[in-house]
Structure 1
């Protein structure tokens, strides 16, 4: 029962207390990819720890401790006699949590796919492919650059953006959009959105949705900056700051553009190797920690039982 209490307290603590420190972490802007991994690992950890807490509260550790044969016999008896109310409640709650998140992921991806397909059909009529740019050009009075991710990904730039940006700036901002496509950032955003939709009252999930959306832009900026001067990216972001792209696409401008301009012009030092390793260890702990806590009582009982049996022999 102790492990169930630990897992329940862990679920509540991570859900309510982790978003604040993680949102204020200054290192996140220095390594957005690691920060994205930590946010999503925290969300997955909470979704996993809640059902594990319920299972740990209803399945006795001795069921594992006496060996696989006895565990199989216990499971057979439970199936024959029917699980008790507590076991049924634990199984139902666990299935509900996992099913809720999985369903929301499917809904978010399906809706975005439909909207992108509809938008792509319009681009096929109104846009004109430019082989030199590797993008579709659309006549539009607003300066916009964005991408339609997924299968057959397309990068779009408006005539207003071509008029307002220099050639180097156009190349830099197109590199930003291609970084989104190569990094499959639409799947990352869909995951964050799904967690928040599944459990809208959980602070961790709401924070993850907002921060992941910001961090994927920083990551795309960094990829573009590896091939183009940072000053050109910053200038392009200024020119695109007022543009409003559709909600289901990823655009280079937006509300975070001005903050990203400052980051481009005043880059911070990347994380040291020791800092990166510590961050990766934290991600691994978030992902594996709940499973380890849930397994420890059963493994301890297993070792105790078999060591005792060997000692008797």
Structure 2
């Protein structure tokens, strides 16, 4: 019963320590795509720890589960895990973790259903405000222009993604700024950032007291914007997308002294204008490889006793 306990402790420590370590990292703003990968690996490691601990605890508590989990394993492998020493704690741990897994799945399903409902409502609103012309068909990549007093542009994901731009935004965006905004929004769509946001919202909403999930939701909201900014800046330049952000947000009070929900916009503009150099390709490769090894740790903890017994 030692392995499920070790996995449980490892998952808790990762959930507590990883957000603090990543908060101290000074490279995340320079490499948002790598930072997103690191966060995904950390969250996957935490979920793996809890999931593997649940399976092994259930195997320790119930013979039927043990028979299925170790159906093709030699007897020596089963003995290496000492599952018979779990006692009443094994069943309680397995049930608690199983409830957590079901709750996670339910929260993700709720988040996806809510997102689809919001998209349907916004698409219906778009058809009312910008109806299709005779012979025109709604298709992927369709640009929708809305008459509105505020400069706004957003990407509506889905089976037929659409870019929505207001007439005020079209009047304000000059030169290649509109192209930069289009590239920014297309960067979101190409990387499927909406799914990352759904996962972050589901985990943080289901387990608001778990630091790694709350930090994951907060960070991905920021990092996906930085990543999309980089997509646009590589095609049209940092100054172009920075000026476009200013034109779209200067009337919303985001550059004033009072905090607003869009307080991240001035930080994005400053980041684009400061033009901090990217990490070297070798450094990015090392960070990517190191992050990929994080979910491997719980797998090693779970399988090493069995592999040792076979050896």
TM-score, L = length of structure 1: 0.81
The 5 A counterparts of 1:33-44 are 33-44=33-44
Which residue does 1:212 correspond to in 2?
220
Which residue does 1:95 correspond to in 2?
98
Which residue does 1:141 correspond to in 2?
149
Which stretch of structure 1 is more off in the superposition, 277-286 or 13-22? 277-286
CA distance in 2, matches of 1:47, 1:299: 23
> Could you say what secondary structure the match of 2:144 adopts?
strand
CA distance in 2, matches of 1:155, 1:264: 23
Which residue does 2:256 correspond to in 1?
none
CA RMSD in angstroms, aligned pairs only = 3.2
2:11 aligned with 1:16, yes or no? no
Which residue does 2:130 correspond to in 1?
127
Q: Which runs of 5+ in 1 are unaligned?
A: 245-252, 304-313
Which stretch of structure 1 is more off in the superposition, 161-170 or 171-180? 161-170
Which residue does 1:310 correspond to in 2?
none
CA distance in 2, matches of 1:54, 1:191: 21
Over 3 Å counting, the alpha-carbon distance change for 1:67 and 1:114 in structure 2 is closer
Which residue does 2:284 correspond to in 1?
276
CA distance in 1, matches of 2:243, 2:93: 55
Which residue does 1:117 correspond to in 2?
120
Which residue does 2:27 correspond to in 1?
27
2:73 aligned with 1:68, yes or no? yes
> Could you say what secondary structure the match of 2:165 adopts?
strand
Which residue does 1:225 correspond to in 2?
233
Q: CA deviation at 1:241?
A: 2.3
Which stretch of structure 1 is more off in the superposition, 64-73 or 180-189? 64-73
CA contact (8 A) 2:129 2:146 kept: yes
CA contact (8 A) 1:147 1:155 kept: yes
The 5 A counterparts of 1:39-58 are 39-56=39-56
The 5 A counterparts of 1:169-248 are 169-241=177-249
CA contact (8 A) 1:47 1:97 kept: no
CA contact (8 A) 1:241 1:258 kept: no
CA contact (8 A) 2:70 2:78 kept: no
TM-score, L = length of structure 2: 0.82
CA distance in 2, matches of 1:50, 1:242: 46
